[in-house]
Structure 1
Amino acid sequence: MAQALAQRIAAVNHQAIDEGRIVGSVVLVAQRGELIYAGASGYADRERRRPMRRDSQFRLSSVSKPYITLAAMRMIEQQLLSLDDNVSQWLPWFTPALPDGRRPAIAIRHLLTHTAGLDYRFNQPQDGSYQRLGILDGMEQSSLTLEQNLRRLAQAPLQAEPGSVFGYSLAIDVLGAVLEQVAGMPLPQLFAQWVGQPLGLGNTGFYTSDADNLATAYYNSEPQPAVMYDGLRQTLPEGFGFEVEFAPSRALDRHAYPSAGAGMVGDADDVLRLVETLRSGCEGILQPHTAALMRQPHVGAQAEIQGPGWGFGFGGAVLVDAELALTPQNNGTLQWGGVYGHNWFYDPIAQLSVVALTNTAFEGMSGLYPVQIRDAVYGE
C-alpha cells in the first residue's frame, strides 16, 4: 500500500512541476497516527537550484489560523476563556458598530467561526472602509502593532449581525489579541507555551531565524511561476474575493506584528503534528470532546464554505455531505489551506491526516494540485 501511495503522489508532483503549476512541495500523510508517506519535490529556490527539503520552512499564511485556534481551545478547556465571553470583556476598545450605529456583542465563538461580522481588506471594494482606514490583512509589511491594526478594524462598520453570516475575516487576528490578554503575554510567547512546546514544534514561529531554509515564494504566471516580491497584488480565483497583497520579506522581520491569522512560518512536520492533534487530541493535549467540538458544523453546509457540502467548524471547513461535495473524504473531515499555496485535512473516519505545503500561489491552495493529492491519498 505504501509503495502504491508513494507512486501516486510522486506522479501528481511530477505532473504539477512539469506543467509549471508548482515549483516545489512537501507532502506528508499519516494514518492511525503512523507516518505512511513523506516526500519533498521540486525546488525550494528554483533560481539557485536549491532543492525542496522535508524541513524547508514556508510562509504559512492561513495555516497559522489552526495553531492559534488550538491555543484558544486549550484555554477554553482550562476555563480561562469561554466560547460565550464577549470580545469586549478582554478588549474593551474593540466594539465595532453595525451600519445602523448599534454595537452588538461579539463572542469568542463568533471569532472562531468567522461569523463576527468582520472581513478582510482583500475582500472589500477598493473604495471601501477597510481601504480608507488602512486596515491590514496580516501579510503586508507594516510598522503598525497588532493593537493599532485592530483599533483601525474596530472603526470599520460590521458587515452583518454577529452570529448570522459566515464571512472569512480578520477574526483570528482579533482572537490572538484576546489570547494575549487571557495569558498575559505576547502572542509569540503564548504560542510557544500553549502550542509549540506541548506539541514539540521545532521549526514554527512568527518569523524565520534561518533565511537559507525558507522556501522562496512564487505565484502562478506564464510560462512558469514567477518570484513574489513585496507589494505584489494577485487576484484570488473566482469565488474567493478580490486582490491579496503579498510581502514575502515579512517572514524575515522579527519586528512585524504577530498576525494570528496569516503571519506564521513553519515546516510540514510541525503542521502534521498540529493536524494530528486536532484529529486525535494527541495524548491529552486536546480532550476528545474538544476535538469533536471543533469538527462540528457550527456553520451549516448551506454556506458552501468550500463549495457544496462544506460547512465550518473551529479551525477549518467541515465536510457535511461527501456525496454533494464529490469527494472521497468522509463526513466530519476538517480541512483548510493557505494563500501562499497550502492545503491540509484530516479524515476522522479513515484516521488520515494529510499536509501538502507548496511554495506556489494560488495553485497549492485552490488549484488542481490539492485535489490531485487528495485523490492520490484515497487511491482514486
Structure 2
Amino acid sequence: MTNGEVDIVAARESGLDPEQLDAMAAYLDGHVGPGRFAHAALLISRDGRPVMSTRSGAAREDGTLLAENALFRIASMTKPVTALAWTMLMEQGLTDLDQRVDAVLPELADVGVYVSGGDGDPFATRPVDTPMRMVDLLRHTSGFTYGFQNRTPVDAAYRNLDLDDFHQARDPDDYIAALAQLPLEFAPGSAWNYSVSNDVLGVVVERLSGMSLDAFFSTRIFAPLGMDDTFFRVPPDRLDRMTDAWMMDGARGPVLYDRGAQTRWRMPRRFHGGGGGLVSGMADYHRFCRMLLQRGELDGVRLVREETVAMMTRNHLPGGGDLSTLSRSMFSESDYAGIGYGLGFGVTVDPAQAGEFHWGGLFSTFFSIDPVEGTIMILMTQLMPSSAVPVRRTLKSMLASALRETRR
C-alpha cells in the first residue's frame, strides 16, 4: 500500500501531469514486495515545490510501515556533499582543481601505475605520466579503484585490505598510508573508474580545514541548510527511525544486511568516508538538492557562489568525453552513454536532457536534478546492490513524460 500522495493542485500549477505522477507511484509500488524492495519512497518537486511524495512498504522486517521521517543509508549520495565541502575550501583559496594531491597528502607522492604482480606476487609499477590532481579525485580519473569491482589484481588487493568497508577500522592517516602501498590502475587523467577517490578527497578536506569531515559537514553544510537528520553516526534518539537494509543474494533473493534498531551506523567511527558514509532522510536530502538547484543558496543562506555550482555541474571528463568512451569501471551509479562526470556526480551531455545531473547510492537511493526544468527527483530505499531492481531510468523517463510545460 502506498502512503503519501500526488498534490494535484501543486502538480498542475507547476506544469506537471498528475495522472502521470500517479503512474510513477504505481510503477514504483509494483517493485515493492517479496524479492524486490522492502520499501521505497519517492519525492518530486519543481522549482522547490513538492508535487509528489509517496512511500510504500515496510521499514523493518517486523512490518513497521515506512514513515515520512525515515532514515536511510545514502552511501554514494555522500559524494556530492564531499565535493561541495572541497569547493568551499577552494573558494577560501586553500586549493584548486589543478593542485597536486600529494601537496596535501604527501604519502601518495611515490605511488606508481600497475605493470604486473598481485595474487601473492609483489607489484611492479611505473612512474605516473602526470601527477594526480584534485580534479582527478573529484571526477574519478585518479587511478584508484573499488575492491568490489572484481576485475584486476589491484582491486583484489583493495579487498584484502578492506579499503571499501563503510566502517573502516583505520583512521584517516592509516587509510592513506594503506592506499600508498598499492599501485594505481592507470595513469591519472587517462581514464574513468569508480573508486575510493571521494574517500581520499574527504581526507584532503580534513587536512586543509583542520576539522574532521564529520565536524566540517555538520558546521559548514548541514547546520546552515537546516539538515538536522543527516550524519555519519545515528544518534540514539533517532534509531527508531532507521530503516533496515537488505542485500540481494542470488537465488535467495534479498537477505537482511543491517537492522535499523541495531545498525552499525550507530557506532563511533575512526574514519568518516567521504565516498559513502552518511545517513539522511528524504526532507534533508531534498534541502541539499534545492541548494544545488538554486546554485548554492537556500532560504537566504549561501554556501558557495553560483559560479562554483556551475563549475561542479559541468562535464570535467578529459576531452569532454562520456563514460561510454572513458570508463574502465565494471560498475557505475549511472548509465554510460551520454553521461559525463562533473565534480561529485554524473552530468548529462546528451542534448535531449543536457544539464541534468544525478547520482545514486549502493543501497539503491538516487537523485536527479534538472536545472532547466527546475525538477528534483529523489528515490529512497535500502537494497544493495543498486543494480538489483533497476528502476532509475524508467522513473527518469516517466518524469520527463509528466512535464506538460517543458522549458527546453
1:339 aligns with 2:362: yes
Shift of 1:175: 0.6
One-letter amino acid matched to 1:148: D
Q: Report Cα offsets for 1:136-172 as digits up to 9, x if no partner.
A: 1142x44321221221111111111111111111111
- AA aligned to 1:17 is V
For residues 334 and 188 of structure 1, do their structure 2 counterparts lie closer, same or farther at Cα, with a shift above 3 Å needed? same
How many angstroms does 1:301 deviate by? 4.0
Q: Answer yes or no: is the 8 Å Cα contact 2:358–2:369 preserved in 1.
A: yes
Q: CA deviation at 1:251?
A: 1.2
Corresponding residue for residue 58 of structure 1: 72
Deviation at 1:201, TM superposition (A): 0.6
CA distance 1:373–1:354, shift in 2 (3 Å): same
Query: 1:179, 1:171 → 2: CA distance?
Result: 12
| Aligned pairs, number | 354
The residue that corresponds to 2:248 in the other structure is: 220
Match of 1:303 in 2: 323
Query: Which residue in the other structure is 2:186 paired with?
Result: 160
| Aligned-partner SS, 1:148 | helix
Q: Does residue 187 in structure 1 map to residue 187 in structure 2?
A: no
Structure 2 equivalent of residue 357 of structure 1: 380
Match of 1:377 in 2: 399
1:31 aligned residue (18, 42, 46): 46
Contact 1:90 1:182 (8 Å CA) reproduced: yes
Tell which structure's C-alpha radius of gyration is larger.
2
SS at match of 1:39: strand
After superposition, the Cα gap between the structure-2 partners of 1:142 and 1:285, relative to the gap in structure 1 and judged at 3 Å, is: closer
Deviation at 1:225, TM superposition (A): 2.7
Does the CA-based 8 Å contact 2:258-2:264 persist in structure 1?
Answer: no
Which letter does structure 1 place at the counterpart of 2:188?
P
| Kept in 2: contact 1:116–1:171 (CA 8 A) | yes
Indicate if the aligned counterparts of 1:278 and 1:286 stay in contact, CA closer than 8 A. Answer: no
What is the CA RMSD across the aligned residues, in angstroms? Answer: 2.3
Q: In the alignment, which residue of structure 2 is the partner of 1:288?
A: 306
What is the TM-score with the length of structure 2 in the denominator? Answer: 0.80
Question: Within 1, Cα distance between the matches of 2:270 and 2:364?
Answer: 21
TM-score, normalization by structure 1? 0.86
Provide the secondary structure at the position in 2 that maps to 1:376.
Answer: helix
Shift of 1:362: 3.0
Following superposition, the deviation at residue 135 of structure 1 comes to 4.3
Change (3 A) 1:359 1:15: same
Q: Who is 1:80 aligned against?
A: 94
Q: Which ranges of structure 1 fall in alignment gaps of 5 or more residues?
A: 231-247, 324-329
Quick one: distance in 2 between partners of 1:131 and 1:350? 41
1:255 correspondence with 2:284: no
Distance 1:27 1:162, change over 3 A: same
Distance, in Å, in 1 between the alignment partners of 2:82 and 2:168 is: 21
Task: Give the direction of change, closer, same or farther, for the CA distance of 1:78–1:4 in structure 2 (3 Å limit).
Answer: farther
Aligned mates of 1:373, 1:114 — CA distance in 2: 26
- Quick check: 1:10 aligned with 2:25? yes
Deviation at 1:126, TM superposition (A): 7.4
Q: Deviation per CA, 1:31-81, whole angstroms, max 9, x where unpaired? A: 112122222221111x21111112111111101111111111122123222
The 3 A distance-change label for structure 1 pair 285 and 131 is closer
Q: Secondary structure at the match of 1:228?
A: strand
Among all aligned residue pairs of Structure 1 and Structure 2, give the percentage whose two residues are the same amino acid: 26
Cα pair 1:133 1:152 within 8 Å, conserved: no
Q: Structure 1: how far apart are the matches of 2:97 and 2:76? A: 22
- Going from structure 1 to structure 2, the CA distance change for 1:257 and 1:69 (only over 3 Å counts) comes to same
Change (3 A) 1:55 1:98: same
Q: Does the aligned pair in 2 maintain the 1:138–1:261 contact within 8 Å?
A: no
Unaligned 5+ runs, structure 2 = 1-7, 12-17, 115-124, 328-334, 403-408
**Structure 1 position 366, deviation (Å):** 6.4
| Structure-2 residue corresponding to 1:326 | none
1:127 shift after superposition = 5.0
